[in-house]
Structure 1
Amino acid sequence: MSELSIIKGRPAIESTISDQAFARIAKIALREAGIVLAPSKISMVKSRLTRRLRALGMSSFDSYLDIVEAGTDQSEMGNFVSALTTNVSHFFRENHHFDFLAKVILPSLQQKLANGGKVRLWSAGCSNGQEPYSIAMTLLNADPSLARKNLKILATDIDPEVLTLAKSAQYKGSLTTGLTDEIIAKHFRKSEQDGEVVLTVNSDVQDMISFRQLNLHAEWPMKGRFDAIFCRNVVIYFDEETQVRLYRRYAQALEEGGWLMLGHSERINDSVTSLFKNAGVTTYQTVRTETPSSPVEGRNSKGSN
Structure 2
Amino acid sequence: MRADRLVATLLFLQDRGRVTVPEVAAELEVSERTARRDLEALAASGIPVYSQRGRGGGWSLVGGARTNLTGLTADEIRALFLVTGPLSATPELRTTLRKLVRALPPTLRPHAEAATRAGVVDATDWSRNAVTADASHRSALQGAVVDGIRVRLGYAGVGKPAGERTVDPLGLVAKAGVDYLVAGTDKGLRTFRLSRVTSVEPTGEPVVRPPDFDLATAWRALSGAFQDGMYAVTARARVRPDTLALLQRLLGGRVRVGGPLPDGWTEVWVDGPAAKALAGHLAGLGAGVEVLEPPEVRRWLARIGAELTGMYAGERADPPPGP
TM-score range, shorter chain: under 0.3
Q: TM-score, normalising length from structure 2?
A: 0.23
More RCO (CA 8 Å, sep 6+)? 1
Which structure carries more strand by proportion? 2
